[in-house]
Amino acid sequence: MSLSFEHVTLGQRVLFGHGQAADHLSAEVERLGAGKVMVIAGEREVEIAEQVAARIDVAVWHSDVVMHVPVEVAETARRKATDNGVDLLVCVGGGSTTGLAKAVALTTGIPIIAVPTTYAGSEATNVWGLTEAARKTTGVDHKVLPATVIYDSALTLSLPVDMSVASGLNGMAHCIDSLWGPKADPINAALAAEGIRALSAGLPKIVADPQSIAGRDEALYGAYLSAVAFASAGSGLHHKICHVLGGTFNLPHAQTHATVLPYVLAFNAPHAPQAEARAAAAFGTGTALEGLQKLREQVDAPQKLSDYGFTAEGIPETVCIVLEKLPANNPREITADNLTALLTAALNGDDPAVLTGDVQYAQ
Ligand code: NAD
C-alpha cells in the first residue's frame, strides 16, 4: 500500500512532571522574558493557580470564566489585558479557562502558557471557540496555540471522579473522531491509538483511586495525544454534533462528549474498517465499540443526554444546524433521518448498536 498525505505538526513546548508546575512556570516566564503576567483561572481553580504561580510576579488576576466563552466575557478579559499592558497570559484550569485565554490571544496576539487541570486538551490545539446569541463559532488561528503547556498531575487530583471520567472521555472522543476527521492521516491515527490506550489505562485507575498519580499521569498524557491528533485531523461528526449541543443548548461540554461518543462510534465504525480496527486494537478488544463500552461500564460513564437537560424538542434544531456543517469525508452518509435516530438514541441512553445500520462488522 502506498502512502500519500499532508500532515501539519504544531510547534509547542510541552513540560510534563508531577509536582513540578510552579518550577516549570517560573522558568518559562523567565525564558519568554515576560514583564507583565495575567493569570486566568476560574473561581474553583484559583487555589490551584496560586500554587502554580507562587514563584512568579503576577500583575493581573482574572477569574471571570464561563464555559463556551460568551463574547462579552471574552471582551472583558481582553480589555483587562490591554489596559494593564499584559505581555503574557497564564491560564490555569480546564478547557473553559484555556478557551478564555485563547479568546484574548486571538485579538491581542499575547502569548499563552497553559497549565491544564482537566483532560479537555484545548491547550494543544490552535482552535478557538466563542459563543454569541446561542451560536458557538469556532476557528483556527496560530495565535491561540499556547507557546508552552505545563502538565502536572498533582493539579488534577482535586478534579472530582465524575468530572475526571467525563473529561477523559472527551479526550477519548478527540482520539476516535481523529480517525475519520476531514484531515485524518496515519500520523494522527498513531497518536490517537496511543491516546486511546493511555486513557483507557488511566481512567479506571482514577476511578479506583482518585489520588492515583499513575492514573492521573496516564490520563493527562492521553489527553495531550488526543488533542494533538484532533488539532491535525479536524472536527469529525462527533465534534460537529457536540459543538451544537454545547453552543445552542448550553449542555456541559465533557459530559456531552462522553454521552454521545458511543453513538457516533456505532454509527460510523462499520463504514470505517481501518479506523475501527485501529481503535479496537488500541482498546485490546474485538471491536472498538466493545472496547469503549467496556471502559464506560468500568468508569460509570454518563449515559444519556436527558440527564443534562436535553429534550426531544431540541433534536430538529440540532439536526438542522449539524446538516449545515457536515464534516468532509465522513465514512457514512449523514441524513436528517439517521442523525435524528442517533440523537434520539443518545437522548434516551439506548443501546448504541441500534445505529450500526445494515452494514455488519467484518468477522
Ligand atoms: P471546564 O473548564 O468548564 O471545567 C469543568 C469544571 O471543573 C469547572 O467547574 C472547573 O472549575 C472545574 N475544574 C477544573 N479543573 C479542576 C480541578 N483540577 N479540580 C477541581 N475542579 C476543577 O470544562 P472542560 O471540560 O475542561 O472544558 C470545556 C471547554 O473547553 C468547552 O468550552 C470546550 O468547548 C472547550 N474545549 C476546547 C477545545 C479546543 O481545542 N478549542 C478542546 C476541548 C475543549
**Structure confidence by residue, pLDDT tens digits, 31-60:** 999 999 999 999 999 999 999 999 999 999
pLDDT over threshold 90, residue 262: yes
pLDDT at residue 358, rounded to an integer: 52
Nearest CA owner, ligand 1 atom 28: 95
Pocket test for ligand 1, best of 68, 71, 117 (most atoms within 8 A of CB): 117
DSSP structure class, residue 181: S
The protein residue whose alpha carbon is closest to atom 9 in ligand 1 is: 44
Mutate to test the pocket of ligand 1, among 162, 163, 206 (most ligand atoms within 8 A of CB): 163
- 155 Cα nearest atom in ligand 1: 18
pLDDT at position 362 is 40
Q: What is the mean pLDDT of residues 110-136?
A: 95
Print burial letters for 154-193: b (CB count within 10 Å at least 16), e (below 16).
bbbbebeebbbbbbbbbbbbbbbbbbbbebbbebbbebbb
CATH 3.40.50.10810 fits 161-355, yes or no: no
State yes or no: pLDDT of 359 exceeds 90.
Answer: no
Residue nearest to atom 40 of ligand 1 (CA): 122
Q: Is ligand 1 within 6 A of the CB of residue 127?
A: yes
Cβ(165)–Cβ(173) below 8 Å: no
CA-derived radius of gyration, the chain: 20
Ligand 1 centroid–CA 66 distance in Å is 10
| Span 56-77, pLDDT tens digits | 999 999 999 999 899 999 999 9
Task: In whole angstroms, give the CA distance from residue 350 to residue 331.
Answer: 22
Span 320-336, pLDDT tens digits? 999 999 999 999 999 99
End-to-end CA distance of the chain: 22
pLDDT of 150-165, one tens digit each? 999 999 999 999 999 9
For a mutational test of ligand 1's pocket, the pick from 43, 45, 220, i.e. the residue with the most ligand atoms closer than 8 A to its C-beta, is 45
- 158 Cβ below 6 A of ligand 1: yes
Please compute the mean of the pLDDT values over residues 294-312 and round it to a whole number: 98
Measured over the CA atoms of residue 347, residue 349, residue 350 and residue 355, the dihedral's sign is positive
Q: With bands split at pLDDT 50, 70 and 90, how would you rate the model's confidence at 357? A: low
Average pLDDT of the chain is 96
Q: Which three cell numbers stand for residue 168?
A: 477523559
CATH of domain 13-156: 3.40.50.1970
pTM: 0.96
Strands 37-40 and 60-62, by their bridges, are parallel
User: Is the beta carbon of 344 within 6 A of some atom in ligand 1?
Assistant: no
Please give the number of the atom of ligand 1 that sits closest to the Cα of 156: 18
pLDDT at 63: 97
Res 83 pLDDT > 60: yes
Distance 316 CA to ligand 1 centre (A): 28
At 299 the pLDDT is 98
Indicate if the pLDDT at residue 87 is higher than 70: yes
Distance of CA 98 to the CA centre of its chain: 11
Question: Cα separation of 86 and 60, whole Å?
Answer: 8
Q: Quick check: 17 pLDDT over 60? A: yes
Residue 238 reports pLDDT greater than 90: yes
pLDDT for res 307: 98
Nearest-angstrom CA–CA distance, 170 and 234? 15
Using CA positions, which residue lies closest to atom 20 of ligand 1? 159
CATH 1.20.1090.10 range(s) for the chain read 161-355
- pLDDT grade, residue 1 (50/70/90)? low
Q: What is the pLDDT of residue 133?
A: 85
Residue 88 has pLDDT above 50, yes or no: yes
CATH 3.40.50.1970 residue spans of the chain = 13-156
